[in-house]
A and B are shown apart, each in its own frame.
Chain A
Amino acid sequence: MVSEQDIWKYLEEVSDPEIPVLTIGDLGVIRTISLENELCTVVITPTYSGCPAMKVIEEDIISKLHEKGVPNVKVELTLSPAWTTDWITENGRAKLLEYGIAPPEDEVDKSVLFAAPTVVPCPKCGSRNTRMISQFGSTACKAHYQCNDCLEPYDYFKCLK
């Protein structure tokens, strides 16, 4: 008989389709796992409303658990509480940095218009002399930055609170 603990463990093998270096656990999108009468329910929350990866994540969870011998799996989506970048684990942040994506920095409230862009250290050389190219990057969750010292262009996993 599998336990909830086992399910959490199995799901460590499911990675985020857009940032494969992260597991969905690292990303903090798995909210709860429950087992009841042979049915395993996994509740996940989207990072962004329009995140196209959610459908893939749902399918990956189901097929991973099938592979592990858990036949009855239901994946539910919840919007509340809303996902925040604070839920990315320490391990996840370290993996992002190693992968070349700057992890989220603590930022001022977005309701403050025209605040200077956040200083995001370069993931390649560590320099803080960097600039924001665009608030919007390759996916909904990222902004686009460039290092003024080593010239590396890089993604920044922008802070969402």
Chain B
Amino acid sequence: METKEALFEYVLRIGDDSLILGHRVSEWCGHGPILEEDIALTNIALDLIGQATNLLDYAGQLEGKGRDGDALAFLRYDREYKNLLLVEQTNGDFGKTILRQFLFDAYRTLLLTRLSKSTDEQLSAIAVKSLKETKYHLKHSSEWVIRLGDGTEDSHSRIQSSLDALWKYTDEIFFANEVDALLEKEGIIPSMEGIKNEWTFFVSDIFAEAGLVIPTNNWKQEGGRTGRHTEHLGYLLAELQYMQRAYPDMKW
């Protein structure tokens, strides 16, 4: 495998994470539990979609087959998406959305911090830009995890059951195969091992403060990075791609 091909695959993965999570979070628009959170979630969704645009446009350039970010976002089939299973999970209640966001933001902040120093100029530029936004997201989601975990009996038990439900998707965050090995050797991406240690330390700390318990059941599910998804992605794509499928090449 050539470097360029590996980098295409890698940028697609993290671009799809942004796209799919951005779409999920955007489903809250007009449905937030309070006005401030409606606005916050919509802003976070917008940042993620913006990051997805930068990443997928770059992936298209690397691929060199004339596909731009829009073509990659709207015209692929579910098996061709490489996002984490975590980000395609349904919103559930506000606590589940926040918990999913927290698990992702904690990882993404660590990743972007390292990618800022990537030897690949464009990837580094995108990371520097995205990191500034992602730090705000992490601050927001961390505060809410503590507030809900350490809140009422109801908020505590609900966010704990979301943690129980989502924990099995967290191993996949640190997925790495030959693509990663090649890019890591060239200094383009960081080692996942280092990120995993720091992530584990960080989220354990926040969960302790929130009074939440990490599930001891170690069964883990993965597949997103290789295109094998949970049933939820298909429904999400049906909505995301509807206009382009119904009216190909439409513009407005």
Per a CB cutoff under 8 Å, which of B51, B139, B140 touches A49?
Answer: B51
Nearest Cβ distance between residue A2 and chain B, in whole angstroms? 30
Q: Which residues of B come within 8 Å of A, CB atoms? A: 36-37, 39-40, 43-44, 46-51, 53-54, 109, 121-122, 124-126, 128-130, 132-133, 135-136, 138-140, 142-143
Nearest Cβ distance between residue A132 and chain B, in whole angstroms? 10
Of the stretches A7-15, A90-98, A109-117, A119-127, the one at the interface is A109-117
Could you say which of A48, A81, A136, A138 has the most chain B C-beta atoms within 10 Å of its C-beta? A136
* Bound-state Cα–Cα, A83 to B132, Å: 10
Instruction: Tell me if A79 counts as interface (CB < 8 A to partner B).
Output: yes
Q: Which residues of A come within 8 Å of B, CB atoms? A: 46, 48-52, 78-83, 110-111, 113-114, 133-140, 144, 160-161
B46 touches A52 (CB 8 A): yes
B50 touches A51 (CB 8 A): yes
Given A49-B50, A134-B36, A140-B46, A113 contacting B139 (CB threshold 8 A): yes
Given A50-B53, A161-B132, A144 contacting B36 (CB threshold 8 A): yes
* Bound-state Cα–Cα, A144 to B129, Å: 22
B40 touches A79 (CB 8 A): no
* Bound-state Cα–Cα, A136 to B132, Å: 14
B contact face: mostly helix, strand, loop, or mixed = helix
- Which residues from B are CB-within-8-Å of A160? 132
B124 touches A80 (CB 8 A): yes
B125 touches A79 (CB 8 A): yes
Nearest Cβ distance between residue A151 and chain B, in whole angstroms? 17
* Bound-state Cα–Cα, A78 to B125, Å: 9
* Bound-state Cα–Cα, A110 to B135, Å: 6
Chain A residue, CB-CB nearest to B142: A113
- Which residues from A are CB-within-8-Å of B37? 134
A50 touches B129 (CB 8 A): no
B129 touches A136 (CB 8 A): no
B53 touches A110 (CB 8 A): no
Per a CB cutoff under 8 Å, which of B46, B136, B138, B140 touches A50?
Answer: B46
B139 touches A137 (CB 8 A): no
26 A-B contacts, Cβ less than 8 Å apart? A48-B133, A49-B50, A49-B53, A51-B50, A79-B54, A79-B126, A79-B128, A80-B124, A80-B129, A81-B128, A82-B128, A82-B132, A110-B132, A111-B135, A113-B139, A113-B143, A114-B139, A134-B36, A134-B40, A135-B40, A136-B39, A140-B47, A140-B133, A144-B39, A160-B132, A161-B132
